[in-house]
Structure formats: structure tokens, C-alpha cells
Amino acid sequence: MTKIIPAIGALTSGVLVTLSLAPFNYWPLALISTAILFTLLQQRDKSRPIKQAALLGWLFGLGLFGSGASWVYVSIHEFGYTSIPLAAFLTFLFCGGLAICCAITWGAYAWLNTSSHKQEQKQKPNRAQNLWTILLFAAIWVWGEWMRSWLLTGFPWLFIGYSQTETVLASWASIFGVYGISFIICFSGAALSTLITARKKLSTAAAPITLAITLWLIAIPLSTSPTEQTNSKPLKVSMVQANISQHEKWQRENLQPTMDLYAALSEQHWNDSELIIWPEAAIPTYYQYANEFIEVIQARALQTNSALLTGIPSRDTHSDSSYNSVITVGNASGVYHKQNLVPFGEYIPFAAIAANILDFFALPVSSMTAGHPDQAALSIQGWQSKPLICYEIVYPGLAAKAAAISDVLITISNDSWFGASIGPLQHLQMAQMRALENQRYVLRSTGNGVSAVIGPDGKILAKTPQFERTVLSAEFYLLNNITPWTRAGYWLTPLFLSAILLFALLKKFRHSKRAK
């Protein structure tokens, strides 16, 4: 029983993170989740503290990804055409594999914090020790999130900071990004745990609680900071949501009807929209095979002094490389190829091994080429935007680099892969955070919803319902201010975390040396 209760607590802690995020948005649960995990990690097994912490971390990750990322089952079963048992098994492998990152994170925390714990056994805990333990806990948590943003091309999903997209803490986003908000949440939750468990020794919790409250209070005046605009003239965008079934989209006989549908839905918006956006892979064939159709759209866009962006696959005939691309039509120029590809969806990691495994299970295999990281922004009606395709909007650093050379952030997506799951709504919330971090309007065009225009304060100004054929027309502004996050925050964050972890490492070695 003594081992079952911590296990249940770790699993519950992970599930609570999911419930704090979209579409549930019970944001206080983020604090409760961190408080539970911090409490569990302080109740060490003296004989094997690192193994115990790693196991609790894995169970936490299983609860987190099992509840928050199990929508991959939809992609595997419905669109990968696998049986229900196999899809369930592969989903468990996916979630369990991601949970290993959490096991590594909290195993490392226990290892680094061992010296502090042994010292506390010899003497009464003091304020400095409590503050350091909480600081290390928050830093390790965020380090784990950052690690997931690049390991094996990354899975930067379900960061706890997203739970505060519409709370007062959101105002920290333009300075420290989602990682900074995650840090404040983890620090606050751990401080809350310390306060609850301190009992008669409340003085030991005074410093962390005071610091946590201060960080929340400072966020209030930050939220009133004005946003600079390059001009006062609103621009109009129309985003076409055709809601074509993923099962039908790539069938050859549906190519012409699909292109005709996008043209028809756009027709009434050419005259009053500076920009029309079609979603990711809206034209379901290679660019080279759709030349005649694109020329017709080009003529229509020029006739109405408008511009169009559309997602379309493209191929380099010289290298035989395939890309997930965005092309421009009308009063716009430039082409963008997606940089961060989805593992097992657009490319195969460790292809020689993984491809054989996928072939054994009769799973479809696709292979695309990543675009160059230094691609230029697209020129649209005289202003600039470097687009982000689907999954790319969830990378904080990638979006910051794009925002630095963009007057507005544009992201196109094909969220039909998620089906009727919570995935698309999580995806939308992450786009809201990118708007907050970079103080940019975000124009989000999807195939079946949710398409949206997001303001620089992260608020959704207009959106479409899911699974409905429609066109979203709304106004937006061009912005050119560079936030601290856009300028340097996305690379200062890992430096800050590294400094804390380096200090913890030196502290541990110094204690070990004294013990000898």
C-alpha cells in the first residue's frame, strides 16, 4: 500500500496537467499537480532514491502523455489503417516512450538533490535549503520540457506553462516565454507544498511563498504594457476551411474537385481581402502538377490586387527531395519549405531500423526533406511573414526566430489527423502562446478547424467551428516591436537553466568531496 499510493499520486499529477490545459482549462490544477509531485519526490526511499524518483517520473509522464497525447491513436488507427489492438499498443509505446524523458528528468533531480537531503537528515531544514530544493525542482521541470523540444527533433507538447495562457501569468510570456511561466508555476506549486507540509515550522516556507506571490503580483502591471503598431490601418484576411475528409483528400479522382472547391470558396473574398490563406496541403498534389490551376488563381489574385498563400507539397526534380511547402500567389513572392518535420509522419528517425519495423506492422511510411533553417520571409503586399507549417508553431524558439523577421505570424495546419480529439484545441492554445511571446497577431488557417485570428495579447479575436466548411474573414494589424523573448529569451532560457544545474552539480561534488 505504501508503494501504491505514491504511484497513484504520480499518475494523478500527470493527468492534472492535461486537465489544466485546453480544452479543459482548469488552470489551478497546474499548481496542485506540481505540489503533489514535489511532495512525492521529497518522501525518499533511503536505499534507492534515484530509482524511486525515476519511477515516479515515468508514472507522472505516463499520466501526462496517456491523458494528453493519446490522440495519436486517431492517427494510427483511423489514418494509419491499423487494427484497434495494434493501434492501442503503439499508442502505449508512444506515451510510455515519451514518459522516459520524465523519468530521466526526475531521476536527475533526485541525484542532484541527494546531498541536500542527507544534510537535512543531520540537521533541521532551514530556509536556504528549502528555497534551493524548490528552485532546483522548478529548474529541472523546465529543463525537462526544454529537452523535449529538441530531442529526436522534439515533441514540445503539454508544457505546463500553457495552462496560464489566459491568466495573469500570461504577461510574463513576452519576457521569458512559456518556459518562464512553467518555471513560475512549478516554483509556486512546490512552495505551496512546503507551506502545507511545514506544520509548525512555517518560517521555512516563508521565503519561497513570498517569492512566488511576488512573481504573480509583478505580472499584473506587466499585462497593461502597450503594444506598438507599425500603422493604424487594419488589414483583412480570409482563411478558407474546406473541411475535406482526410480519407478522401488524397484520392486522385478528388484532386480537381478539391481545387475547384477552394477556388469557389475564395471567389467572393478576392475584392475585399488583402490576403487569402489556404491551409496545409490544401492542394493535394505536387506543385509541379498543379501549374495550370495555380496560373488561373494567379491571374485572379492580380486582377483584384490581392495575395494568396497556400500549402502544397513540392519536389526538387534535381535531388528528388519532397517538401511540405507554402507558396505565394498574386501580390506576394517567395516559397517556404517546412523545417521541423513530424517524426514517423513526415520522416522516419533512424530510418534503416524504424522503416523495417513499420514495414513489419504494415504501417504507411512517408519521407520528406526538411527545409533549410535560414529561409527568407515571404513578401506579401509589401510586408513580411515567415510562415510556420502545422507542428512548427509549437516550437517556441523556431517561432521567435520567425517573428523577428515577420510583421505577422502565419501558421497553416491540417489538424484532421487529430480527428475529434483534444489535439486541435491544444494546438490552438500553443498558437495563442506564440502570439503572447512575440506580441504578434497570429493568422491560423486549418483544413477542418480550428482556424483563428489571435491578437498579440493571446486572445482569440475570431475563429471557426470544427468540422464545418466555411471561410473566416477578420482584421489584423502589422506589428514590428521586438519583445525580450523574441530578441533573446528563447536562448537565454536554456542558459539560465544550465547555470542552475551547473551550480547544483558543483554543490553535489563539493559535498561528496567533504564527505570523503
Strand, helix or coil for residue 506: helix
User: Can you list the positions of beta strands (E) in 90-216?
Assistant: none
Q: Which helix (H) or strand (E) holds 275?
A: strand 275-277
Strand, helix or coil for residue 246: helix
In whole angstroms, what is the distance from residue 407 CA to residue 366 CA? 34
Strand, helix or coil for residue 208: helix
Q: Is 401 a catalytic residue?
A: no
Q: Is 338 a catalytic residue?
A: yes
Chain centre to alpha carbon of residue 356: 30
Using alpha carbons, select from 439, 435, 431, 434 the residue that is nearest to residue 480. 439
Task: Lay out the sheet containing 409-413: strands in order across.
Answer: 388-389, 409-413, 442-446, 452-454, 460-463
Residue bearing cell 464545418: 468
Torsions phi, psi of 447, nearest 5? -75, -35
What secondary structure does DSSP assign to 2-27, as a single string? TTHHHHHHHHHHHHHHHHHSTTT--T
**Helices 84-122 and 127-148, axial angle in degrees (round to 10):** 160
Residues 445 and 278 sit within 8 Å (Cβ to Cβ): yes
Which of the following is catalytic: 145, 274, 280, 346?
280
In whole angstroms, what is the distance from residue 431 CA to residue 437 CA? 10
In whole angstroms, what is the distance from residue 408 CA to residue 404 CA? 10
Q: Is 390 a catalytic residue?
A: yes
Residues 190 and 142 sit within 8 Å (Cβ to Cβ): no
Using alpha carbons, select from 162, 373, 416, 204 the residue that is nearest to residue 388. 373
Which of the following is catalytic: 346, 390, 392, 401?
390
In whole angstroms, what is the distance from residue 119 CA to residue 161 CA? 32
Chain centre to alpha carbon of residue 276: 25
Q: Based on the number of CB atoms within 10 Å of its own CB, is 387 exposed (0-12), middle (13-18) or buried (19 or more)? A: buried
What amino acid occupies position 352? A
Which of the following is catalytic: 145, 186, 338, 386?
338
User: Can you list the positions of beta strands (E) in 119-167?
Assistant: none
Residues 153 and 60 sit within 8 Å (Cβ to Cβ): no
In whole angstroms, what is the distance from residue 197 CA to residue 216 CA? 22
In whole angstroms, what is the distance from residue 449 CA to residue 441 CA? 18
CA distances from 207 to 16, 40, 139, 329, 487 (A): 26, 21, 17, 58, 32
Residues 110 and 50 sit within 8 Å (Cβ to Cβ): yes
Enumerate the active-site residues.
280, 338, 390
